[in-house]
Amino acid sequence: MSDSAEATEYGAYFCANPQCVLHVRAGDARVRGHGNWARLPDGRTVGRSRYLGQLLCDLCGRALLRAQGLA
């Protein structure tokens, strides 16, 4: 990954879905740490990836794919 792409991802929301509890950025008051894994309030751990060009947590990404008939 290029330095500029890495900087963009580092500053990005963990999940681009504004309805998601993981629509937060590293450095937000209620966020500890940074990276590609997050722990939900219920204790589940989820990752994130690009789904149809959007950086989403795996829960929202799979829901998007199902809604598009791709999963």
Tens digits of per-residue pLDDT, 7-47? 446 678 999 999 999 999 888 888 887 788 998 889 899 99
What is the amino acid identity at position 7? Answer: A
Alpha helices in the chain (DSSP H): 3-11, 58-67
| pTM (2 d.p.) | 0.79
pLDDT of residue 64: 97
